[in-house]
Structure 1
Amino acid sequence: MQLPLHFDPVLLRQDLEALAATPWTAHFVRQNYEGDWSVIPLRCMAGEKHPVRMIYSDPVATDFVDTPFLEACPYFREVIATFDCPVRSVRLMRLTPGSVIKEHTDLDMGVESGSVRIHIPVTTNPDVEFLLNRRRVEMREGQVWYLRLGDPHAVANRGASDRVHLVLDLFANDWLMGFFEAVTVEA
């Protein structure tokens, strides 16, 4: 479901460029991908210092803090502040050209469980294929998407440039649920 929010692609890319010297951490679930799927944590579980623990979004954790990487990113901070709900983890997730995220499901990642994952493409290309329930979802830079990732999904970057998404894990409150209620009423 595309949310009725949109962020400036130029400003999103500027914040990404501000992190050019920041190391990316390989995603820790190696069996789910081939190639380079990596992450920069912008908000993580409180007290975490190890890079792998910083990119993990524990579904039962309740205490999250901004990482030092977020300090260099004023627009990412503005984007995050737009979400008037409790913000859990926030990560930049990169899939380099030729890389594939194999079909899998993310447990406890759906609005019905009270945990919502939002994707905001920062950089993408027409040859990125994101499949949810084996149906293609075309996401453009700056758009805001909720995807029920408890359903089967896979991604392939067949293009020549990185696909980077700003990924927010949020607690569903009345403000956030309003987007879903509006869709239900319209349907």
Structure 2
Amino acid sequence: MNALKLPFEFDPEIIKKEISQFSKSDYRDIYNSSVTLETLWLKHFIEPINDAYGFPIFYPTDDLKKCPYLLSVFNMFKCRVETFRIHTLDAGAKIQKHRDSGYGFEFGKIRLHIPVYTNDKVEILVNNEAIKMKEGECWYCNFHLEHEVRNNSDEPRMHLILDCIVNDWLTDVFVKGDIKFPVSLNPNP
């Protein structure tokens, strides 16, 4: 399976309103060999703080605390969330074909996308399959597979991205969606 729309819907208009308080200077350029410099931007909303054993626990940043709806989205996920960030792909920009090794359910770590700003001219291809995402939907894609993104529009594409560690709660979301994954894994809770 290349992708799956999860049974969550979020209000993109509230997210747009909350993130409008941040300017482009609040974002940083992502260095990625599959992206042209200064075309993909991110803003992190959680930060790691090590526990007594040196393991990171991810907490909301002060900026996330200024966004009550986004904070409720973060808190809704009953699994370990290691990335909670906004990605903006500029108009006309693209992310070349690549793989994010280990980002698939079967590996115990997944990446979720919640489109905030998108349109029909944005192409997301996973394993050469076009994935049509709408604003406010929540999508799992197996990014361990080869994938690419093309923003063929004249507007920036903006997604909320979460990296989650598979646990019983997340497995249950997939099982209820009748997804056939190797759920015999014993992922870390």
Fold shared by both chains (TM-score > 0.5): yes
How many residue pairs get aligned? The number is 173
- The equivalent position to 1:33 in structure 2, one of 32, 35, 40, is 35
Q: Is 1:82 paired with 2:76?
A: yes
Q: Is 1:42 paired with 2:42?
A: no
**Structure 1 residue runs of 4 or more that deviate by more than 4 Å after TM superposition:** none
Work out the CA distance in 2 between the residues paired with 1:99 and 1:88: 26
Aligned twin of 1:141: 135
- The equivalent position to 2:66 in structure 1, one of 57, 67, 72, is 72
Unaligned ranges ≥5, structure 1: 48-60
Aligned twin of 1:57: none
Question: Where does 1:98-109 land on structure 2 (aligned, <5 Å)?
Answer: 98-109=92-103
Secondary structure class of the residue paired with 1:88:
strand
Q: Please provide the CA RMSD for this pair.
A: 2.0
Work out the CA distance in 1 between the residues paired with 2:74 and 2:143: 20
Aligned twin of 2:187: none
Unaligned ranges ≥5, structure 2: 181-189
- The equivalent position to 1:119 in structure 2, one of 113, 120, 136, is 113
Aligned twin of 1:3: 6
Which structure would you say has the larger Rg? 2
Q: Which has the higher helix share?
A: 1
Work out the CA distance in 2 between the residues paired with 1:4 and 1:185: 12
Matched-pair identity in %:
31
Q: CA shift at 1:22, angstroms?
A: 4.7
Aligned twin of 2:160: 166
Aligned residue identity for 2:151: N
Aligned residue identity for 1:17: S
Work out the CA distance in 1 between the residues paired with 2:113 and 2:107: 18
